[in-house]
Each structure stands twice: as structure tokens, then as C-alpha cells.
Amino acid sequence: MLQLLTEMSPERLTELYESLDARAQRALDDPISKALNSRPQTVAKRPLGMRMKALRAHLMRTRDDDLAGELIRAYLLGARKELVTDFLGGVGIEHEDGTVEGDDAPDEAKVASTVETLLSKHAAADVQLYLEVAAMQWPESKSVVAARDAGRSTAS
């Protein structure tokens, strides 16, 4: 997940950050403050662009994949939960409000049409981010990996 964040444009990382609830943003104050060599209490007073550069620098320096994963999960299961539930429902995976508990795999025959539906309802960048995560979660799913790869080539 770290690579997904470090390869994002500064604008896209800012978009993710700004869509997080206040609690999730505050949770990032500590790593941002470490990168800025300041106290966590002063982070909110810094310009947003500076905080995002610091967050990216912290992630790259510490290679903190857990933090990157938490940030992406908070974004997808917070601001973009409908996208996640639309995908899971569309491909026949049982979930609890976007969280998958079992070992169900996506119905290969439903992935392409589900992705098409997602693209008609949600921003392409968000769909692609979710497909990147889904391909990590279900690497054996040829249709999920193909959908992810198709989105990558479209974005290039």
C-alpha cells in the first residue's frame, strides 16, 4: 500500500487527506510532526501543502506500509464506502458495511460489468485505487487483476 501513496500526485494525496474525518487526520499529526521536526500540537497550524510533503517524506523515509494501508482503508471505508460496497455486492462477496470477513473470492464473470458500473457512478481515480487494493486482496482473481491493469493503461 505504501507504493500506492508514494506514487500519488501531491494533489491526489491531499484529496485523500482532506476527505478523512477529523479523528483520522489527527492520527496523522504525529508522523507529520516527526517529518517537520515539530510538536504534533502545531501540525494543524502548518499549510496543508507543507503537511502533505511531510507526510509523504515520512512514509518514504520510514517505509511505513501499515500507516499507508490505514490511510487508504480510512479513505475507502470512510469517504468512498459506497464504492467499496457497490463493488463487493456487485461481485457477490459478503461483507459487513464494506468489511470482508470470509475467504470469498469475486465472481470472475461479474467483475468487468461491476467495474463498468462503478466507473459510471464514481471517480475513475477512486475506482482505480480500489482496484489496486482489490488486486492485492485477491491476487488470484484474473478478472480483478485485469481490471486493475486496464485502469492503469487508461490512466497512462
Please report which confidence band the pLDDT of residue 20 belongs to, taking 50, 70 and 90 as the band edges.
very high
pTM across the whole model: 0.91
Distance in angstroms (rounded) separating the CA atoms of residues 41 and 63: 24
Q: Give residue-wise pLDDT tens across range 119-149.
A: 999 999 999 999 999 999 999 999 999 999 9
Please report which confidence band the pLDDT of residue 48 belongs to, taking 50, 70 and 90 as the band edges.
very high
pLDDT value for 156 = 58
What is the rounded average pLDDT of the residues 101-114? 93
Please report which confidence band the pLDDT of residue 103 belongs to, taking 50, 70 and 90 as the band edges.
confident
